[in-house]
Amino acid sequence: MTITEAAIHIKKELERAYDNREAITIADWLLEKLTGAKKADRIINKEKKLTTEQTDTLNSWISRLLNQEPIQYVLKEAWFGGMKFYVDQNVLIPRPETEELADWVISDCKFPIQQLSLLDIGCGSGCISIFLKRKLRKADVWACDLSESALAVAERNAKNLGAEIHFFQMDILNEMERNRLQSFDIIVSNPPYIPENDKTQIAPNVLHFEPGTALFVPDTDSLLFYRAIADFGKKKLNPGGAIYVEINEDLGDAVLKLFQSKDYEAIIKKDMQGKNRMVKAIRNI
């Protein structure tokens, strides 16, 4: 099978589950990953034959995609903040709105940064903490997660991307564990926030492949993690420090009121789609 034939084959197969434009885009991603060549080089070498191993790999990828597995997991990579991250099913796939949350942190920082301590709660792939460390070079960045497997992914990404971060395992819901930590100037988190009852509304590629513990919260307490973060901040956020969290767009007012009830000055920020997706809470001095 030549590169040209492979492109036609991918498109034909994927159109069983994807629209034409998606199939063409995915075909380009698969072939670039498979051959290591950009599109222009593949056009020049369009009659070059794939090896048997490459053909087998390609067919395996197509089969997984037709089973609705996200392409990021198939290729083991996702982009965030202009950086390529390794991802697998132990971590959420980084999303644009989370990048907006990280950008908000950066835009609020006063440069030059001399001293700054920062904690990323529920770090997953490490995309937030690594992005912030790369932008805030002098910051002392810490990141935690309940999952050992997620931490292994985050540590791998930090090493690959040259970010020195203190990773550690912790359950933020465990008050004794969190109270052992030092104080921080900034706390940032994209915690679980989807009520269990909303599972029926979640796309199959998310529901069946991304880690549920990083997505869902009990219907009886959808603000569980925000309450824990707010309580932690009351003890471990430095005076004038700020908490930045991603939120469920339907729970913006509830999250805002929660922080305000605990004596924070809090504001909601919309994402690029105009949805309430972020809250910033400043600790009153």
Tell me: the pLDDT tens digits for 103-135?
999 999 887 777 899 999 999 999 999 999 999
Are 54 and 119 part of one and the same domain? no
Domain count, the chain: 2
Average pLDDT, integer, range 198-220: 92
Residue 86 in domain: no
Residue 80 in domain: no
Strands 264-270 and 276-283 come out as antiparallel
Tell me: the pLDDT tens digits for 178-190?
999 999 999 999 9
Tell me: the pLDDT tens digits for 137-188?
999 999 999 999 999 999 999 999 999 999 999 999 999 999 999 999 999 9
Longest dimension (CA), the chain: 68
CA dihedral 151, 85, 196, 281 (to 10 degrees): 80
Count CA atoms closer than 13 A to 18's CA, side-chain side.
23
Strands 237-246 and 276-283 come out as antiparallel
Structure tokens at 252: 């913006």
Distances in Å between the Cα of 126 and the Cα atoms of 49, 92, 144, 170, 268 are 38, 10, 9, 15, 24
Tell me: the pLDDT tens digits for 32-84?
999 999 989 998 988 999 999 999 999 999 999 999 999 999 999 999 999 99
Across the chain, what does the average pLDDT equal?
94
Residue 74 in domain: no
- Residue 267 is part of a domain; what is its CATH number? 3.40.50.150
Are 53 and 153 part of one and the same domain? no
Are 151 and 189 part of one and the same domain? yes
Are 213 and 272 part of one and the same domain? yes
Structure tokens at 219: 């219907």
Residue type for position 256: L
Tell me: the pLDDT tens digits for 17-37?
888 899 999 999 999 999 999
Give the model's pLDDT for residue 195. 92
pTM: 0.93
Average pLDDT, integer, range 221-226: 96
Can the peptide bond before residue 211 be classed as cis, meaning omega within 30 degrees of 0?
A: no
Residue 236 in domain: yes
Are 47 and 117 part of one and the same domain? no
Are 185 and 47 part of one and the same domain? no
Are 41 and 120 part of one and the same domain? no
SS3 state at 78: strand
Average pLDDT, integer, range 266-277: 95
> In which domain, by residue range, is 28 found?
3-67
CA 33 to chain centre: 21
Are 49 and 96 part of one and the same domain? no
Residue 99 per-residue DSSP state: H
Are 248 and 109 part of one and the same domain? yes
Give the model's pLDDT for residue 285. 65
Give the model's pLDDT for residue 115. 85
Residue 9 in domain: yes
Alpha-carbon distance 138 to 117, whole Å? Answer: 9
Alpha-carbon distance 277 to 272, whole Å? Answer: 10
Residue 20 in domain: yes
Residue 73 in domain: no
Residues 6+ apart with CB under 8 A from 50: 1, 2, 3, 6, 34, 35, 58
Are 211 and 117 part of one and the same domain? yes
Residue 35 in domain: yes
Alpha-carbon distance 65 to 59, whole Å? Answer: 10
Rg, the chain, Cα only: 21
Are 96 and 63 part of one and the same domain? no
**Interhelix angle 3-14/52-66, nearest 10 degrees:** 20
Are 111 and 186 part of one and the same domain? yes
| Residues 84 and 134: beta-carbon distance below 8 Å | no
Average pLDDT, integer, range 235-246: 94
Alpha-carbon distance 133 to 154, whole Å? Answer: 13
Tell me: the pLDDT tens digits for 71-91?
999 999 999 999 999 999 999
